[in-house]
Amino acid sequence: MVQLMQQYEIWRELFSPLHALNFGIGGDTTRHVLWRLKNGELENIKPKVIVVWVGTNNHENTAEEVAGGIEAIVQLINTRQPQAKIIVLGLLPRGEKPNPLRQKNAKVNQLLKVSLPKLTNVQLLDTDGGFVHSDGAISCHDMFDFLHLTGGGYAKICKPLHELIMQLLEETPEEKQTTIA
């Protein structure tokens, strides 16, 4: 969900100007992200905001385990990047019609809504996007394969996300940074 965002124009419009980097890898689970963050992807940088969006591929885990995996990512970031404000994006519904994975992803979001406020410097952005219509269907105009977002689908998510990031960036005091030689 993160990786593909960079392929659409919206990335250049909304996030490139904020000096954003995209470390998304398709197919990743919370385990893969944890490994990557522990093995170099948080080194030598000092971002003000870190956006985390992962969990929909954790097919071998329960909703409780997935939420726990996301919490572990947050705690890791707290340790390595104490200055960073973290935004955790809620998992989106998936599949054309109602199915168990929608319930699972919604459950993860519910659990995070309770657990994240107890952690530091993190908030949940659970943007529904209005993707599920009254008949329970998701349109391919929002998710071209009923999982991955189209440009239009991303726009619905990125608008509130961008607003929140801007808010958090404005709250951060400007630091004097020594240039890395």
Partner 1 sequence: MSQGDSNPAAIPHAAEDIQGDDRWMSQHNRFVLDCKDKEPDVLFVGDSMVQLMQQYEIWRELFSPLHALNFGIGGDTTRHVLWRLKNGELENIKPKVIVVWVGTNNHENTAEEVAGGIEAIVQLINTRQPQAKIIVLGLLPRGEKPNPLRQKNAKVNQLLKVSLPKLTNVQLLDTDGGFVHSDGAISCHDMFDFLHLTGGGYAKICKPLHELIMQLLEETPEEKQTTIA
Q: Rule CB under 8 A: which residues touch partner 1? A: 3, 6-9, 25-26, 59, 94-97, 99-102, 140, 144-148, 150-151
Which residues contact residue 166 at a Cβ distance below 8 angstroms, ignoring those fewer than 6 apart?
A: 18
What is the closest distance, in whole angstroms, from the C-beta atom of residue 111 to partner 1 in the complex?
19
71 contacts 86 by C-beta, under 8 angstroms: no
168 vs 47: CA distance, rounded Å: 12
- 8 Å CB contact between 64 and 99: no
Nearer to partner 1, 4 or 168 (CB): 4
Place of tokens 């003000």: 48
Closest approach, Cβ 140 to partner 1, in A, equals: 6
Shortest distance in whole angstroms from residue 104 CB to partner 1:
8
Q: Of the two residues 47 and 151, which places its CB atom closer to partner 1 in the complex? A: 151
Side chain identity at residue 110, one-letter code = Q
Q: How far is the CB of 112 from partner 1 (least distance, A)?
A: 20
**Measured distance CA(37)–CA(45) in Å, rounded:** 12
Q: Nearer to partner 1 by C-beta: 7 or 75?
A: 7
Taking each helix axis as running N to C, give the angle between helix 63-80 and helix 100-115, from 0 to 180 degrees, rounded to the nearest 10.
Answer: 40
Q: Which is nearer to partner 1, 148 or 162 (CB)?
A: 148
